[in-house]
Amino acid sequence: MKILFTYDMFREGFASLEERYEVTFPEGRDFTYEEVMSRIAEYDVLCSMFDFPVNKELIDQAPNLKLIANYAVGYNNIDVNYAVEKGIAVANTPDPVTAPTANLALGLMLDVARRITECDRKLRALGKNMKIGIMENLGVHITGQTLGIIGMGRIGKALCKRACACGMEVIYYNRRQLSLEEETKLNVTYVTKEELLVRADFISLNAPYTPETFHIIGEEELKLMKPTAILINTARGPLVDEHALVRALTEKRIRGAGLDVFEFGDYPLPELLALDNMVLTPHIGTQTTHARLEMARAVSNNVIGFIEGDRPVNRVYKS
Ligand code: GLV
Protein backbone atom coordinates (compact mmCIF):
# COMPACT_ATOMS: atom_id res chain seq x y z
CA MET A 1 0.00 0.00 0.00
CA LYS A 2 1.28 3.45 -0.91
CA ILE A 3 0.34 6.37 1.31
CA LEU A 4 0.75 10.04 0.42
CA PHE A 5 0.74 12.75 3.08
CA THR A 6 0.01 16.35 2.11
CA TYR A 7 1.76 17.53 5.33
CA ASP A 8 4.73 16.59 7.49
CA MET A 9 4.64 16.53 11.29
CA PHE A 10 5.05 14.34 14.36
CA ARG A 11 6.59 11.33 12.68
CA GLU A 12 6.27 9.40 15.96
CA GLY A 13 2.47 9.61 15.61
CA PHE A 14 2.74 8.00 12.19
CA ALA A 15 5.43 5.42 13.05
CA SER A 16 2.93 2.54 12.86
CA LEU A 17 2.22 3.50 9.23
CA GLU A 18 5.87 3.78 8.25
CA GLU A 19 6.53 0.30 9.75
CA ARG A 20 3.83 -1.27 7.58
CA TYR A 21 3.54 0.64 4.31
CA GLU A 22 5.33 2.79 1.77
CA VAL A 23 4.74 6.31 3.06
CA THR A 24 5.64 9.61 1.37
CA PHE A 25 5.86 12.83 3.41
CA PRO A 26 6.72 16.23 1.93
CA GLU A 27 9.75 16.46 4.35
CA GLY A 28 9.50 19.49 6.61
CA ARG A 29 6.83 21.36 4.66
CA ASP A 30 3.44 20.82 3.02
CA PHE A 31 2.99 19.58 -0.53
CA THR A 32 1.31 22.11 -2.79
CA TYR A 33 -1.95 21.21 -4.47
CA GLU A 34 -0.09 20.93 -7.80
CA GLU A 35 2.48 18.55 -6.30
CA VAL A 36 -0.26 16.30 -4.93
CA MET A 37 -2.06 16.41 -8.30
CA SER A 38 1.09 15.26 -10.07
CA ARG A 39 1.76 12.37 -7.61
CA ILE A 40 -1.67 11.10 -6.53
CA ALA A 41 -2.16 8.63 -9.43
CA GLU A 42 0.16 6.03 -7.88
CA TYR A 43 -1.19 6.17 -4.29
CA ASP A 44 -3.80 4.07 -2.48
CA VAL A 45 -4.32 6.37 0.51
CA LEU A 46 -4.24 10.16 0.81
CA CYS A 47 -3.67 11.68 4.26
CA SER A 48 -4.94 15.24 3.98
CA MET A 49 -4.91 18.27 6.29
CA PHE A 50 -8.16 20.16 7.02
CA ASP A 51 -7.21 23.08 4.78
CA PHE A 52 -6.08 20.99 1.80
CA PRO A 53 -8.74 20.81 -0.95
CA VAL A 54 -9.55 17.25 -1.97
CA ASN A 55 -11.92 18.12 -4.81
CA LYS A 56 -13.36 16.38 -7.90
CA GLU A 57 -10.37 17.39 -10.01
CA LEU A 58 -7.93 15.74 -7.59
CA ILE A 59 -10.10 12.65 -7.10
CA ASP A 60 -10.30 12.25 -10.88
CA GLN A 61 -6.48 12.06 -10.99
CA ALA A 62 -6.46 9.20 -8.45
CA PRO A 63 -7.51 5.88 -10.07
CA ASN A 64 -5.95 3.81 -7.24
CA LEU A 65 -7.24 5.87 -4.33
CA LYS A 66 -9.17 3.85 -1.74
CA LEU A 67 -9.11 6.07 1.36
CA ILE A 68 -8.87 9.77 2.20
CA ALA A 69 -7.85 10.07 5.88
CA ASN A 70 -8.32 13.66 7.06
CA TYR A 71 -6.32 15.10 9.93
CA ALA A 72 -9.32 16.88 11.55
CA VAL A 73 -12.85 16.35 12.64
CA GLY A 74 -14.06 18.85 9.99
CA TYR A 75 -14.02 17.56 6.43
CA ASN A 76 -15.42 20.49 4.46
CA ASN A 77 -12.14 20.44 2.49
CA ILE A 78 -13.15 17.11 0.91
CA ASP A 79 -15.81 16.49 -1.72
CA VAL A 80 -17.12 13.54 0.32
CA ASN A 81 -20.13 12.84 -1.91
CA TYR A 82 -17.95 12.59 -5.01
CA ALA A 83 -15.32 10.46 -3.25
CA VAL A 84 -17.94 8.03 -1.94
CA GLU A 85 -19.58 7.83 -5.40
CA LYS A 86 -16.17 6.83 -6.74
CA GLY A 87 -15.91 4.09 -4.11
CA ILE A 88 -13.34 5.98 -2.01
CA ALA A 89 -13.78 5.90 1.78
CA VAL A 90 -13.31 9.04 3.89
CA ALA A 91 -12.25 9.13 7.56
CA ASN A 92 -11.79 11.87 10.18
CA THR A 93 -10.48 12.25 13.76
CA PRO A 94 -13.30 13.34 16.09
CA ASP A 95 -12.10 11.99 19.45
CA PRO A 96 -8.82 13.84 20.03
CA VAL A 97 -10.19 17.23 18.94
CA THR A 98 -13.21 17.34 21.25
CA ALA A 99 -11.66 18.38 24.57
CA PRO A 100 -9.08 20.88 23.28
CA THR A 101 -11.61 22.66 21.07
CA ALA A 102 -14.21 22.85 23.86
CA ASN A 103 -11.48 24.13 26.21
CA LEU A 104 -10.52 26.87 23.77
CA ALA A 105 -14.18 27.90 23.33
CA LEU A 106 -14.52 28.24 27.10
CA GLY A 107 -11.19 30.08 27.23
CA LEU A 108 -12.37 32.59 24.61
CA MET A 109 -15.65 33.09 26.50
CA LEU A 110 -13.76 33.89 29.69
CA ASP A 111 -11.20 36.01 27.88
CA VAL A 112 -13.74 38.26 26.15
CA ALA A 113 -15.99 38.41 29.24
CA ARG A 114 -13.17 39.31 31.64
CA ARG A 115 -11.18 41.31 29.05
CA ILE A 116 -8.05 39.29 29.79
CA THR A 117 -6.03 39.87 26.61
CA GLU A 118 -7.44 43.38 26.26
CA CYS A 119 -6.07 44.28 29.72
CA ASP A 120 -2.81 42.48 28.99
CA ARG A 121 -2.42 44.50 25.76
CA LYS A 122 -3.15 47.78 27.55
CA LEU A 123 -0.79 47.07 30.43
CA ARG A 124 2.05 46.26 28.07
CA ALA A 125 1.35 49.25 25.80
CA LEU A 126 0.64 51.87 28.48
CA GLY A 127 2.66 50.63 31.44
CA LYS A 128 2.32 53.07 34.32
CA ASN A 129 0.02 55.25 32.18
CA MET A 130 -2.69 52.60 32.27
CA LYS A 131 -5.56 53.69 34.42
CA ILE A 132 -5.97 51.13 37.19
CA GLY A 133 -8.88 51.22 39.55
CA ILE A 134 -11.59 49.05 40.95
CA MET A 135 -14.08 50.28 38.31
CA GLU A 136 -11.71 50.72 35.35
CA ASN A 137 -11.73 47.35 33.66
CA LEU A 138 -15.13 45.95 34.39
CA GLY A 139 -15.99 42.74 32.65
CA VAL A 140 -19.00 40.47 32.85
CA HIS A 141 -19.79 37.26 34.66
CA ILE A 142 -20.17 33.93 32.95
CA THR A 143 -21.66 32.30 36.05
CA GLY A 144 -25.44 32.60 36.06
CA GLN A 145 -25.47 33.63 32.38
CA THR A 146 -27.04 31.78 29.46
CA LEU A 147 -24.88 30.06 26.87
CA GLY A 148 -26.47 29.28 23.50
CA ILE A 149 -24.66 26.50 21.64
CA ILE A 150 -25.27 26.22 17.89
CA GLY A 151 -24.26 22.69 16.89
CA MET A 152 -24.66 20.09 19.63
CA GLY A 153 -22.25 17.40 18.45
CA ARG A 154 -19.31 16.10 20.47
CA ILE A 155 -17.62 19.51 20.86
CA GLY A 156 -20.91 21.27 21.67
CA LYS A 157 -21.65 18.66 24.34
CA ALA A 158 -18.14 18.93 25.81
CA LEU A 159 -18.52 22.72 25.99
CA CYS A 160 -21.95 22.30 27.56
CA LYS A 161 -20.47 20.23 30.42
CA ARG A 162 -17.78 22.84 31.02
CA ALA A 163 -20.30 25.70 30.95
CA CYS A 164 -22.59 23.87 33.40
CA ALA A 165 -19.60 23.38 35.72
CA CYS A 166 -19.13 27.17 35.59
CA GLY A 167 -22.75 27.68 36.66
CA MET A 168 -24.16 28.65 33.26
CA GLU A 169 -27.59 27.81 31.91
CA VAL A 170 -27.26 26.14 28.49
CA ILE A 171 -29.69 26.27 25.58
CA TYR A 172 -28.92 24.83 22.16
CA TYR A 173 -29.96 24.73 18.53
CA ASN A 174 -29.06 21.77 16.34
CA ARG A 175 -30.17 20.09 13.11
CA ARG A 176 -31.70 17.37 15.24
CA GLN A 177 -33.01 17.64 18.77
CA LEU A 178 -31.20 15.35 21.23
CA SER A 179 -33.13 12.58 22.97
CA LEU A 180 -34.90 13.56 26.19
CA GLU A 181 -32.51 11.28 28.05
CA GLU A 182 -29.47 13.07 26.64
CA GLU A 183 -30.97 16.53 27.24
CA THR A 184 -31.68 15.60 30.85
CA LYS A 185 -28.18 14.23 31.34
CA LEU A 186 -26.60 17.37 29.88
CA ASN A 187 -29.12 19.71 31.52
CA VAL A 188 -29.83 21.57 28.25
CA THR A 189 -32.92 22.95 26.56
CA TYR A 190 -33.57 22.81 22.82
CA VAL A 191 -34.75 26.12 21.30
CA THR A 192 -35.19 27.58 17.83
CA LYS A 193 -32.28 29.49 16.38
CA GLU A 194 -34.21 32.76 16.81
CA GLU A 195 -34.96 32.07 20.46
CA LEU A 196 -31.33 31.18 21.09
CA LEU A 197 -30.16 34.43 19.50
CA VAL A 198 -32.60 36.50 21.54
CA ARG A 199 -31.96 34.76 24.89
CA ALA A 200 -28.26 33.93 25.00
CA ASP A 201 -25.60 36.03 26.74
CA PHE A 202 -22.90 33.96 25.05
CA ILE A 203 -23.28 32.20 21.70
CA SER A 204 -20.82 29.50 20.67
CA LEU A 205 -20.68 28.03 17.16
CA ASN A 206 -19.81 24.35 17.18
CA ALA A 207 -21.38 23.16 13.94
CA PRO A 208 -19.63 21.76 10.87
CA TYR A 209 -19.28 23.97 7.79
CA THR A 210 -21.91 22.92 5.23
CA PRO A 211 -24.06 24.85 2.72
CA GLU A 212 -26.72 25.05 5.48
CA THR A 213 -24.37 26.59 8.07
CA PHE A 214 -22.75 29.15 5.72
CA HIS A 215 -23.37 32.57 7.37
CA ILE A 216 -25.50 30.99 10.07
CA ILE A 217 -24.63 34.24 11.85
CA GLY A 218 -25.24 37.17 9.48
CA GLU A 219 -26.69 40.68 9.64
CA GLU A 220 -30.19 39.51 10.63
CA GLU A 221 -28.95 37.13 13.33
CA LEU A 222 -26.64 39.78 14.81
CA LYS A 223 -29.63 42.15 14.99
CA LEU A 224 -31.51 39.63 17.13
CA MET A 225 -28.69 39.27 19.67
CA LYS A 226 -28.58 41.15 22.96
CA PRO A 227 -26.41 44.30 23.00
CA THR A 228 -24.47 42.51 25.74
CA ALA A 229 -24.00 39.25 23.79
CA ILE A 230 -20.60 37.68 23.17
CA LEU A 231 -20.09 35.51 20.05
CA ILE A 232 -17.53 32.69 19.97
CA ASN A 233 -16.50 30.80 16.83
CA THR A 234 -14.10 27.85 17.07
CA ALA A 235 -15.76 25.93 14.20
CA ARG A 236 -15.16 27.29 10.70
CA GLY A 237 -14.84 30.93 9.58
CA PRO A 238 -17.60 31.06 6.95
CA LEU A 239 -20.24 30.28 9.61
CA VAL A 240 -20.06 34.02 10.39
CA ASP A 241 -20.57 36.88 7.94
CA GLU A 242 -17.38 38.65 9.01
CA HIS A 243 -18.29 41.98 7.38
CA ALA A 244 -21.60 42.00 9.27
CA LEU A 245 -19.72 41.14 12.49
CA VAL A 246 -17.35 44.09 11.98
CA ARG A 247 -20.37 46.40 11.69
CA ALA A 248 -22.09 44.95 14.77
CA LEU A 249 -18.95 45.21 16.92
CA THR A 250 -17.99 48.67 15.68
CA GLU A 251 -21.50 49.99 16.32
CA LYS A 252 -21.48 48.18 19.70
CA ARG A 253 -24.64 46.25 18.79
CA ILE A 254 -23.09 43.26 20.60
CA ARG A 255 -20.50 43.32 23.41
CA GLY A 256 -17.70 41.31 21.87
CA ALA A 257 -16.46 38.25 20.06
CA GLY A 258 -13.80 35.56 20.25
CA LEU A 259 -12.79 34.03 16.94
CA ASP A 260 -10.40 31.16 16.30
CA VAL A 261 -11.37 30.90 12.61
CA PHE A 262 -11.96 33.51 9.93
CA GLU A 263 -14.17 33.77 6.89
CA PHE A 264 -11.49 34.60 4.35
CA GLY A 265 -8.71 32.12 5.20
CA ASP A 266 -5.98 32.36 7.80
CA TYR A 267 -6.41 36.04 8.71
CA PRO A 268 -9.27 38.15 10.06
CA LEU A 269 -10.52 41.27 8.30
CA PRO A 270 -8.15 44.11 9.27
CA GLU A 271 -11.02 46.04 10.89
CA LEU A 272 -11.27 43.30 13.54
CA LEU A 273 -7.64 43.80 14.56
CA ALA A 274 -8.46 47.37 15.53
CA LEU A 275 -11.26 46.43 17.94
CA ASP A 276 -10.69 46.02 21.68
CA ASN A 277 -13.86 44.06 22.32
CA MET A 278 -12.55 41.01 20.57
CA VAL A 279 -10.06 38.17 20.97
CA LEU A 280 -8.50 36.62 17.89
CA THR A 281 -6.54 33.36 17.74
CA PRO A 282 -5.07 31.70 14.63
CA HIS A 283 -7.03 28.41 14.46
CA ILE A 284 -5.45 26.95 17.62
CA GLY A 285 -8.45 24.87 18.70
CA THR A 286 -6.42 21.65 18.56
CA GLN A 287 -2.95 23.15 18.89
CA THR A 288 -1.64 21.33 21.90
CA THR A 289 1.22 18.87 21.62
CA HIS A 290 -1.01 16.23 23.14
CA ALA A 291 -3.89 16.76 20.70
CA ARG A 292 -1.60 16.94 17.68
CA LEU A 293 0.00 13.61 18.60
CA GLU A 294 -3.35 11.98 19.37
CA MET A 295 -4.72 13.21 16.03
CA ALA A 296 -1.71 11.66 14.26
CA ARG A 297 -2.40 8.36 16.04
CA ALA A 298 -6.08 8.60 15.09
CA VAL A 299 -5.16 9.11 11.41
CA SER A 300 -2.81 6.12 11.60
CA ASN A 301 -5.48 3.95 13.23
CA ASN A 302 -7.99 4.95 10.56
CA VAL A 303 -5.57 3.95 7.80
CA ILE A 304 -4.51 0.66 9.43
CA GLY A 305 -8.09 -0.20 10.40
CA PHE A 306 -9.23 0.42 6.83
CA ILE A 307 -6.46 -1.67 5.26
CA GLU A 308 -6.20 -4.49 7.81
CA GLY A 309 -9.77 -4.47 9.14
CA ASP A 310 -8.37 -4.99 12.66
CA ARG A 311 -9.67 -1.83 14.42
CA PRO A 312 -12.50 0.69 14.12
CA VAL A 313 -12.31 3.39 11.46
CA ASN A 314 -14.02 6.79 11.91
CA ARG A 315 -15.80 6.79 8.56
CA VAL A 316 -17.54 9.83 7.11
CA TYR A 317 -20.52 9.17 4.86
CA LYS A 318 -22.35 10.97 2.04
CA SER A 319 -24.63 13.80 3.13
C1 GLV B 1 -9.89 21.37 13.21
O2 GLV B 1 -10.20 22.43 12.78
C3 GLV B 1 -10.64 20.17 13.00
O4 GLV B 1 -11.61 20.18 12.21
O5 GLV B 1 -10.29 19.14 13.61
Q: Is the CB of 74 under 6 A from ligand 1?
A: yes
Q: What percent of the chain has pLDDT over 70?
A: 100
Q: Is the CB of 50 under 6 A from ligand 1?
A: yes
Distance 97 CA to ligand 1 centre (A): 7
Q: Is the CB of 97 under 6 A from ligand 1?
A: yes
Say whether pLDDT at 140 is over 90: yes
Distance 208 CA to ligand 1 centre (A): 9
Distance 105 CA to ligand 1 centre (A): 13
Nearest-CA residue for ligand 1 atom 4 is: 74
Say whether pLDDT at 10 is over 90: no
- Ligand 1 atom closest to the CA of 92, numbered from 1: 5
Nearest-CA residue for ligand 1 atom 3 is: 72
Q: Is the CB of 73 under 6 A from ligand 1?
A: yes
Residues 19-42 have pLDDT tens digits of 999 999 999 999 999 999 999 999
Q: State which of 286, 299, 314, 316 you would mutate to test the pocket of ligand 1, scoring each by most atoms of that ligand within 8 A of its C-beta.
A: 286
How confident is the model over 12-18, as a mean pLDDT? 95
Q: What is the mean pLDDT of the chain?
A: 97
Distance 50 CA to ligand 1 centre (A): 6
Between helices 154-165 and 94-114, what is the axis angle to 10°?
40
Q: State which of 9, 49, 52, 73 you would mutate to test the pocket of ligand 1, scoring each by most atoms of that ligand within 8 A of its C-beta.
A: 73
Residues 143-189 have pLDDT tens digits of 999 999 999 999 999 999 999 999 999 999 999 999 999 999 999 99
Distance 129 CA to ligand 1 centre (A): 41
Measure the CA–CA gap between 202 and 225, rounded to whole angstroms: 10
Distance 46 CA to ligand 1 centre (A): 17
How confident is the model over 229-239, as a mean pLDDT? 98
Distance 40 CA to ligand 1 centre (A): 23
Q: State which of 9, 76, 97 you would mutate to test the pocket of ligand 1, scoring each by most atoms of that ligand within 8 A of its C-beta.
A: 97
Residues 259-318 have pLDDT tens digits of 999 999 999 999 999 999 999 999 999 999 999 999 999 999 999 999 999 999 999 998
Distance 108 CA to ligand 1 centre (A): 17
Measure the CA–CA gap between 100 and 290, rounded to whole angstroms: 9
